[in-house]
Amino acid sequence: MNTPDWLADAVFYQIFPERFANGDPALDPPGVEPWSAEPTRDNFFGGDLAGITEHLDHIESLGANAIYLTPIFEADTNHRYDAKDYFAIDHRLGDLSAFRRFVDAAHARGIRIVLDAVFNHCGDGHWAFRDVVEKEAASEYVNWFSVENFPVTPHPEPNYRTCSGCYYLPKWNAYNPEVRDHHYRVAKYWIDQGIDGWRLDVPYFINDNFWRGFRDVVKGADENLYIVAEEWREPEQWLQGDLADGTMNYTLRDLVLGFIADRTIDAEQFARGMNDLTARVPEAARPAMLNLLGSHDTERLVTRHGDDIAATKLSYALLAMAEGAPMIYYGDEVGLRGDNDPECRGTMPWDRTLWNHDLLNYLTDLLAVRAEHPALRRGSQRVVAITPDVVSLVRTAATGETVTLVVNRGDEPFPLGSLKGEAIWGHRDEVAPRAIVILTGGGGES
């Protein structure tokens, strides 16, 4: 398994393009909402590629060096998981020139770009599906989809296969060689435009042979391109060297939030779960695991913690120091609130008076420490329970450098002075509840 080396040093920032920044109001669709209005599943706010390009400094200053974008191709919805044309940028986001400016500006800052590969389904506005609707059995694309009978009928229940029963998301027939060729051409086309990888949307709905062919196309173009699979349960299937480099690490998310936000597990259960997860992931894939606490499919991080900023910080500490590539969902770094979809897809507040600067500075400092110490990027990992409320996460590099993160979620002070080593972040004399300190020992460059 050849995992791209750059992933060991990667920090990802996820952007839902429609809600990040409006850089070109001329692209705004009719009926666009004021930027701070309440998000719904249908409304538009005018976020675009120019807006992302304008705010790359914010992403860079946070310490992120990779961006994962949810879909950007021509579609009808604000989420764009209903592609109409995979070879075109959505007209409300910009055009190919705007995309190239974005990629060039990001690369100039050392920031890589990963796009969303939505190949299980398209939108009912896709040109091939419209041809089937119009020409029925006579359409040359009739076998690109799975239609039971004609006419094509979306209501009350669609008479064609869909993604999870959603009528406007017809499912591709990935067993059709012409469909596979279309999808592989899409993958190669955007690689040629300069992207650095693909995130696979609901890949478990498509057969593995399709993804083996996809990997051949991607890695055949450049072995340093990243492939990461969406996976909410068991990651092993994707990590055998023939499908993906890593998965979205929702298992880690469950463990961190179970220990800190929900308190449904204690330190011993957290440590056991983390160590079991490490054992389940092949060593070569560990740097490629995309570690996250929030995404466009979950409630906002501060909301999940019941608006407890101190607890949110603890979860961020575990995310930043754990083995794998941490990912920050836009707005979470400044304390943006919201329940699950559609509230988790609110607009990024660019009025800095609305930001939680304490949380932002805390996370920025954590990521800076990660960047300074090889053990936190390329070291092995071991998690140990100290008390039911206190855990240590130990990272050890091949050079011998060892960095230890200690997290106390409890209300009782933990005597940090009893820990050996040099304090490189945090305060040794801190005895407040939920104290965090990072200690280092051994040799190695830092």
Residue 5 DSSP symbol: G
* Exposure class string for 219-229: b at 16+ Cβ within 10 A, else e: eeeeeebbbbb
Catalytic option among 82, 230, 231, 332 = 230
Distances (CA, A) of 262 to 182, 231, 303, 304, 362: 44, 22, 12, 8, 21
Residue 141 DSSP symbol: T
Rounded to 5°, the CA angle 119-124-129 comes to 80
CB 78 within 8 A of CB 87: no
CB 90 within 8 A of CB 75: yes
Q: Which of 169, 198, 190 is nearest to 77 (CA)?
A: 169
Catalytic option among 24, 48, 116, 201 = 201
230 catalytic per annotation: yes
The rounded distance, in Å, linking the Cα atoms of 113 and 190 is: 11
201 catalytic per annotation: yes
Q: Which of 100, 12, 87 is nearest to 50 (CA)?
A: 100
Q: Which of 318, 331, 281 is nearest to 409 (CA)?
A: 318
Q: Which of 322, 331, 319, 262 is nearest to 292 (CA)?
A: 319
Phi, psi dihedral angles at 210 (to 5 degrees): -60, -45
Residues tagged active-site: 201, 230
